Structure 1
Amino acid sequence: MRMNSLQMKRKLEQRLENPEWNSSFNRDKDIFRVEWKETRQGVSITIPNVIAKYDQHGEAALDDLEYHVKEALKIMNETHDLSGAEKKILPVIRATSFPRKTKAGKQLVYTDHTAETRIYYALDLGNTYKLIDIEMLTNENWTIDRIKEVATFNVRSLMTNLKKDTVAENDYYFLASKDGYDASRILNEAFLEEMKANSKGELAIAVPHQDVLIFADIQNETGYDILAQMTMKFFAEGRIPITSLPFLYEDKKLEPIFILAKNRPTRKDK
């Protein structure tokens, strides 16, 4: 029998019990929230989504959720400095629909990327990271340009090991190191130029979610359809989805494209 919302709420209460936290349940919206008593900063959890993952993966899904919620709450209650931690500043790719402010109302640091994606900046904390906000910059007299420069430099040092798969005479390359910055490698221009130089056909790139980067060396019409299906599947399964639209990479530019079945792609107007 499928677990209902109240049963899942009780499970979450047991796993996320802490004398310094408050928990609440919005029955109308099916949202369970855990927050610090003192600051009211916290994490909201959509119960139906948790139940869906629990149906698929059982207690392992709750283990993963518990870990990430506790890490998020821990980070919210810490003070982090940028100075002296320059090597730990990295870019992260998000959808343009991603919030520009934290739930506490702090303006996040970001720069535009494509019509589908935006670049945010993170301070790596080992097992997780904290998105950098304007207040952090102001406190240390940093500029957005400095953050961008440091993060862009650091992303070039990340490994770029790829796995290759050939389908219907088209070559697909996957980068999935699970370090939280797989999609961020799309900002390593030297890496993209190397892939372009070695491609036999048109080079397409996809970032369906945070933890994967896909290159496609498209050599026939079927290659586009395969890429579209592949990207949509990854997008649906990702913990932090970004975009189901791939990009064509030409002249050092990324152009979002719609891929129509049995047809060449059409560029999406910005």
Structure 2
Amino acid sequence: MKMTSLKMKKILEERLTDSSLNTKYNREQDTLRLEWKSSNQGVTIKLPNIIAKYNERGEQAIDELVDHIHESLKIMNQSYQLEGMEKQIFPVIRSTSFPTSSNSGAELVFKEHTAETRIFYAIDLGKSYRLIDRVMLEKENWSDKQIDEIATFNLRSLEQSYKVDTVADNDFYFFAKQDGYDASRILNDSLLEEIAGMSKGELAVAVPHQDVLILADIRNKTGYDILAQMTMKFFTEGRIPITSLPFIYEERKLTPIFILAKNKPEDKK
């Protein structure tokens, strides 16, 4: 039986029933919003995206979404302090279109990264995390530089293991620990330098969604085509998409590139 938005809406409402929550269905935007009655904070679900994942993975996709929503709503209903939680603070990569304020209107703390990405900061809470806003920062009298230094230091302590696939003489390194900070590893300069030192061609980097970092030793034109197709596929499938554009890593700098089919990119301004 074909899954429709109304059927998916009904399934989610049944799975996420709670007397403390309001549910709102927007037919025009095809979204379902769940929010706390007490604060109006909540999450908005794009139903077509969930239906696509359901068609591909079945009930598992719904189970994962429900778990994620439960965690997100629980975190919204609690207050957190930074003091004493320094070891649990990490950077997270998001697209430049990602909101810079929380649903409650608090400004999130962020730092510019590339033309396609920004760095936000989060308190790790085990199954999920809470993005750090400026109110939390000001309560502790912390500076942006201080939170960035703490988060960057903690990032370097994460495991850096990877899987390597060689396709058409190009090496692709995949970081996918599923710890919430796979894409964040793009900020680890020593890691990028290590792979760059091993590379025989040009090093390309991609963060299509939160849960994967791809480093690619590109040695021929085919490698660019493979990377472009791979990045787009990951981008469309990711729970938190970041960017479908890969980057060239050169002299410790990341430059977004457009890859034309069967052609090495010529414009790297």
Cα distance in 2 between the residues matched to 1:107 and 1:32:
24
Contact 1:161 1:175 in 2 (8 A): yes
Q: TM-score, normalised by structure 2?
A: 0.96
Deviation digits for residues 41-72 of structure 1, max 9, x if unmatched?
11111222222222222221211111111111
Instruction: Tell me the residue number matched to 2:209.
Output: 209
Mapping for residues 39-118 of structure 1, pairs under 5 Å: 39-118=39-118
Q: Is the aligned partner of 1:120 residue 2:114?
A: no
Cα distance in 2 between the residues matched to 1:102 and 1:83:
21
- How far did 1:268 drift? 5.6
> What is the SS of the residue equivalent to 1:108?
coil
Unaligned runs of 5+ in 1: none
Deviation digits for residues 143-182 of structure 1, max 9, x if unmatched?
1111101011111111110111111111111111000100
Q: Which amino acid aligns with 2:182?
A: D
Cα distance in 2 between the residues matched to 1:13 and 1:173:
40
- How far did 1:189 drift? 0.6
Cα distance in 1 between the residues matched to 2:54 and 2:182:
26
Instruction: Tell me the residue number matched to 2:131.
Output: 131
Contact 1:173 1:216 in 2 (8 A): yes
Mapping for residues 2-13 of structure 1, pairs under 5 Å: 2-13=2-13
Cα distance in 2 between the residues matched to 1:25 and 1:113:
35
Q: Is the aligned partner of 1:181 residue 2:181?
A: yes
Contact 1:258 1:266 in 2 (8 A): no
- How far did 1:19 drift? 1.9
> What is the SS of the residue equivalent to 2:242?
coil
Contact 1:256 1:267 in 2 (8 A): no
CA RMSD of aligned residues (A): 1.3
- How far did 1:106 drift? 1.1
Cα distance in 1 between the residues matched to 2:138 and 2:215:
38
Change (3 A) 1:266 1:239: farther
Change (3 A) 1:5 1:218: closer
Q: Which amino acid aligns with 1:93?
A: I
Contact 1:175 1:212 in 2 (8 A): yes
Q: TM-score, normalised by structure 1?
A: 0.96
> What is the SS of the residue equivalent to 2:209?
coil
Cα distance in 2 between the residues matched to 1:156 and 1:241:
23
Cα distance in 1 between the residues matched to 2:48 and 2:266:
36
The alignment of Structure 1 onto Structure 2 pairs a total of residues equal to 269
Cα distance in 2 between the residues matched to 1:158 and 1:141:
27
Moved more, 253-262 or 83-92: 253-262
Q: Which amino acid aligns with 2:83?
A: S
- How far did 1:235 drift? 1.1
Cα distance in 1 between the residues matched to 2:225 and 2:185:
24
Q: Percent identity?
A: 62
Instruction: Tell me the residue number matched to 2:26.
Output: 26
Instruction: Tell me the residue number matched to 1:228.
Output: 228
Change (3 A) 1:228 1:26: closer
- How far did 1:262 drift? 2.3
Cα distance in 2 between the residues matched to 1:156 and 1:177:
14
